[in-house]
Amino acid sequence: MSEIEETLSSILPDENYRKRCLSLFAESIVEAHSHGRNMWGVYCFREGARKGIRLLVGSLIVFTIDKDGMWLSLDAALLNEKKDEQRVLEKSDVWRWGRGEYSEYCLVPSRNGYYVPSGTDFDLWPVLRAFHFAYLRNVANKYGQLRSDSQENHTPALMVYLREELRQNLPSPDYGAASDDNPFQEVEDLSRTYRELPETERESIVLSRIGQGSFRSDLEKYWKTCAVTGCAVSELLVASHIKPWRDSDNFERLDVYNGLLLAPHVDRAFDRGYVSFDDEGRIILSDAFSDRDQRILGIHSDMKLRKIEPNHLRYLDYHRKNVLKRAL
């Protein structure tokens, strides 16, 4: 049993209750990601006898799960506006306001507390979610990205655990060049997702992360040239995943329909979320991609995938929702 599994099993021993709490944690991750791929991180902590998991956005802890329940930051301004909803919280048996040092934040005003649902009764979550998500938005608006020391603490293995435990596609943060320029670290971080497979399949999955092996061969047979420009110089083309390798399961990592063979400038723009493609294959240009830079790179609105099949669509949908940059 991994440290993450041991930690969560010890503080949330009931499997169904644990999954329900983790699903709320996952909702917050998805919301944080919608405000910026570099804005958030998660990690498993142990502070003396206290242990659990945390979500950070910008410079602030916004969601903790530990033995006392689910600790949440709620937007103070919205609480002051929504008096009826605030009274619901005041009267609830499953919510208690925090006390002491971390009962509120001042830099981005919040009121914080513990949510401890009883059994399967999670009826208060929609009320809390509105205040909590408003707070995530305000924190994201204040901070340009997750602080650097918290980036180093982000634990990819926790994201792998959440995906497996919840059987849910969840995004990964992107802090710039680190994950893309160090694929071998990513392969090592996520080794638990493929290490039990036969050696030949394991090798194919690892090679697929760096655009080689059977994944590249299959893409070359399928596309033959760049999927967008038609460039036929094989040595220049990059075998790129549509749904990022780190977010994919082992089938998806080798699926030819989760791949595009791309010229380097298109691959980089696609990988970094400056472009995506709609269900007809037409290019989508991010609002964060300036007209000047589009012209310099020769990327324009008339571009499209040279072919597209139904099996591509779920991967493209994931890319649009989780990778494509949106202007802040």
Cβ within 8 Å of residue 256, ≥6 positions away? 215, 218, 219, 222
Alpha helices in the chain (DSSP H): 3-11, 15-34, 76-81, 83-91, 125-142, 148-153, 156-166, 177-181, 183-189, 199-209, 213-223, 250-254, 264-271, 291-297, 313-322
Tell me, yes or no, whether 247 and 157 share the same domain: no
Last residue within a domain, chosen from 151, 166, 181: 166
CA distance 128 to 99: 18
Asked if the structure places residue 242 within a domain, the reply is yes
State which amino acid sits at residue 317: D
Tell whether pTM > 0.75: no
CA distance 257 to 255: 5
Tell me which residue of 144, 150, 158 sits closest to 35, measured CA to CA: 144
Into how many domains does the chain fold?
A: 2
Tell me, yes or no, whether 220 and 147 share the same domain: no
Q: What per-residue confidence (pLDDT) applies to 56?
A: 96
CA distance 112 to 96: 9
Asked if the structure places residue 259 within a domain, the reply is yes
CA distance 263 to 227: 8
Q: What per-residue confidence (pLDDT) applies to 187?
A: 62
Q: What is the DSSP letter of 256?
A: G
Q: What per-residue confidence (pLDDT) applies to 194?
A: 62
Asked if the structure places residue 278 within a domain, the reply is yes
Q: What per-residue confidence (pLDDT) applies to 36?
A: 86
Q: What per-residue confidence (pLDDT) applies to 178?
A: 42
Q: Which domain holds residue 147?
A: 3-166
> Which residue numbers in the chain have pLDDT < 70?
1, 120, 176-196, 199-200, 210-211, 327-328
Give the pair of three-digit tokens for residue 307.
């072919």
Letter string b/e over residues 172-210, b meaning 16 or more CB atoms within 10 A of that residue's CB: bbbbeeebeeeeeebbebbeebbeeeeeeeeebbbbbbe
Asked if the structure places residue 180 within a domain, the reply is no
Tell me, yes or no, whether 212 and 313 share the same domain: yes
Last residue within a domain, chosen from 166, 185, 215: 166
Tell me, yes or no, whether 55 and 116 share the same domain: yes
Three-state secondary structure of 62-82? EEEEECCEEEEEEEHHHHHHC
Last residue within a domain, chosen from 150, 166, 182: 166
Judge contact between 114 and 96, C-beta under 8 A. yes
Judge contact between 9 and 49, C-beta under 8 A. no
For residue 167, report the phi and psi dihedrals to the nearest 5 degrees: 50, 55
Tell me, yes or no, whether 162 and 90 share the same domain: yes
Tell me which residue of 326, 225, 226, 306 sits closest to 266, measured CA to CA: 226
Judge contact between 106 and 2, C-beta under 8 A. no
Asked if the structure places residue 85 within a domain, the reply is yes
Q: What per-residue confidence (pLDDT) applies to 328?
A: 46
Q: What per-residue confidence (pLDDT) applies to 183?
A: 61
CA distance 47 to 309: 51
First and final CA of the chain: distance in angstroms?
Answer: 40
Q: What per-residue confidence (pLDDT) applies to 100?
A: 84
Question: Cα–Cα–Cα angle for 226, 277, 238, nearest 5°?
Answer: 30
Tell me, yes or no, whether 12 and 117 share the same domain: yes
CA distance 47 to 4: 14
For residue 37, report the phi and psi dihedrals to the nearest 5 degrees: -70, -20
Asked if the structure places residue 286 within a domain, the reply is yes
Largest CA distance in the chain: 68
3-state secondary structure of 236: helix
Helix or strand (DSSP H, E) at 101: none
